[in-house]
Amino acid sequence: MDNLPRYAVFGNPVAHSKSPQIHRQFALQENVAIQYDRILAEPDTFAQVIRRFFDDGGQGANITVPFKTEAYQWVDELSPRAEVAGAVNTVIPLGNGRFRGDNTDGVGLVNDIVQACGVAVRNRRILILGAGGAVRGVVPELLAQHPAGITIANRTEAKALDLAVRFGIQALPLNQLPEDYFDIIINGTSGSLNGALPDVSAKVFGKCLLAYDMVYGAAAAGFLSFARESGAQQTADGLGMLVAQAACSYQLWRGFKPDIVPVIRYMKEAEVL
Ligand code: ATR
């Protein structure tokens, strides 16, 4: 077992992470054996712990909350999308003790929406709720799909305006969103984690093809049932995004592109069990 290629996810907490299960499915698709661990770090030991992992032969790392900014600072070079996001969720060793940081969250979201949910982003009117780090990381990938437009709305309006200026998109106050207008509505607030719904009128969902919550499982349920009751035709939680961002990381490390659709299905079934 000692010679298997080793990967890991670093976070705090990390015990709940589904990444080992997901990457095991990718390895089965590639028909190889890998080791993928969860590694708990503390804010003052993150740099030390990740360095030791790579010194011991680690071949790639995922970074989750709360270390994405630390990882951004720790790596030696950044992909353009990690640079824009200001956050790193994937570390790739370059040899000679140097490391590249990438961010696959945005492309994960887009791949889930397009490939797994079957909803095109091109020419769609998109509303994003929230203006934190998670949203900043996904806007560039959504823009790259040429939507008709992206509107961003946030409890703290100044933060939505900042992102709007940064990316050349529109910001509106939550209570001034047009009704029966948006095709895709994405909840990128962390409010769901505390059971809080963004303060949006039900009529905003009147023409909604897809309502999407970037968190998964029980935390997404409140927003997604509100969206369905308000008229959203289809809803999805962030489990597919989690699988899709992992697939991009796997491809960056190993050059093998996993098929996300069967793995999302597998993870959904595993969640129910
Ligand atoms: P993340 O990295 O997960 O995006 P973040 O940068 O702290 O975390 O951003 C959290 C986002 O969720 C913000 O847009 C925040 O709104 P504010 O900018 O007004 O703080 C939003 N959020 C968190 N709790 C919320 C709640 N109860 N209702 C509405 N929005 C909430």
Domain spanning 118-237, CATH architecture: 3-Layer(aba) Sandwich (3.40)
Instruction: Tell me how far the alpha carbon of residue 156 lies from the centroid of ligand 1, in angstroms.
Output: 8
Mean pLDDT, the chain, rounded, equals 95
pLDDT of 138 strictly over 60: yes
Collect all residues with Cβ–Cβ distance below 8 Å to 267 and sequence separation of at least 6. Answer: 18, 21, 22, 25, 239, 242, 243
Helix (H) or strand (E) holding 218: helix 218-229
| CA-based radius of gyration for the chain | 19
Q: Check pLDDT > 80 for residue 191.
A: no
pLDDT of the residue at 22: 98
Ligand 1 centroid from CA 130, angstroms = 6
Pairing of β 98-102 and β 90-95: antiparallel
State yes or no: is 68 an active-site residue.
Answer: yes
Q: How far apart are CA 105 and CA 103, in angstroms?
A: 6
Residue-level pLDDT at 20: 97
Indicate if 118-237 has the same CATH topology as 6-103+240-272: yes
- pLDDT tens for each residue of 89-127: 999 999 999 999 999 999 999 999 999 999 999 999 999
The CA 55 to ligand 1 mean position distance, Å, reads 36
Domain spans, the chain: 6-103+240-272, 118-237
User: What does the DSSP 8-state code read for residue 216?
Assistant: -
Which residue's CA is the closest to the ligand 1 atom numbered 24?
191
Per-residue pLDDT, averaged over 138-158, amounts to: 97
| Residues lining ligand 1, Cβ inside 6 A | 130-135, 154-156, 159, 189-191, 196, 198
On whether the CB atoms of residues 202 and 177 are closer than 8 A, the answer is: no
**In the structure encoding, which two tokens stand for residue 198, read together?**
């963004």
Query: What's the confidence (pLDDT) of residue 190?
Result: 87
Looking from the CA of residue 135, the nearest atom of ligand 1 is 4
pLDDT surpassing 60 at residue 273: no
| Cβ-contact 84, 33 below 8 angstroms | no
pLDDT at 27 over 70: yes
CA nearest ligand 1 atom 29, residue = 198
Counting atoms of ligand 1 from 1, which one is nearest the CA of 194?
27
Tokens read off for 90 = 């994937």
Helix (H, G, I), strand (E, B) or coil at 5: coil
Binding residues: 17-19, 64, 89, 105, 130-134, 154-159, 214, 216, 238, 245
| 273 C-alpha to ligand 1 centroid (Å) | 31
- Whether the bond into 173 is cis, omega within 30 of 0: no
pLDDT tens readout for residues 59-81: 999 999 999 999 999 999 999 99
Assigned superfamily of 6-103+240-272? Leucine Dehydrogenase, chain A, domain 1 (3.40.50.10860)
**What is the value of pTM for the model shown?**
0.95
